[in-house]
Amino acid sequence: MARTKERGQTPKTTRFRVCQRKFALLALLLLLSSFLLTACSQGPALPWVSLQGPMSIASRTGKATRQDPVRVVLASITSPQESRVYYDAMLNYLGRQLGRPIDIIQRKTYAEANDLVRAGSADVAFVCTYAYVAGHAEFGMELLAAPVIHGQTTYHADVIVNKNSSITSFSQLRGKVFAFTDPMSNTGTMYPLSLVKALGSTPDEFFAKYFYTYSHDYAILAVADGLADGASVDSTVYDYLRSSSPASVAKVRVIRVSPPYGMPPIVVRADLDPQLKKKIQMILLRMNENSSGRKILAKLHIQRFVTVKDSLYDSVRALAKAAGAP
The lowest-confidence range among 66-75, 94-103, 179-188, 274-283 is: 66-75
Q: Any idea how long the chain is? A: 326
Residue 289 has pLDDT above 70, yes or no: yes
Q: What pLDDT does residue 15 have?
A: 37
Q: 195-220: per-residue pLDDT in tens? A: 999 999 999 999 999 999 999 999 99
Q: 44-88: per-residue pLDDT in tens? A: 333 333 333 444 444 344 443 448 899 999 987 655 566 566 688
Q: Walk me through the domains of the chain, giving residue ranges and CATH numbers.
A: 3-38+157-258 (3.40.190.10), 46-149+264-318 (3.40.190.10)
Q: What pLDDT does residue 78 have?
A: 58
Residue 260 has pLDDT above 60, yes or no: yes
Separation between Cα atoms, residue 210 and residue 178, nearest integer Å: 5
Encoded amino acid at 148, one letter: V
Q: What is the mean pLDDT of residues 6-35?
A: 40
Separation between Cα atoms, residue 62 and residue 17, nearest integer Å: 42
Q: What is the mean pLDDT of residues 168-191?
A: 98
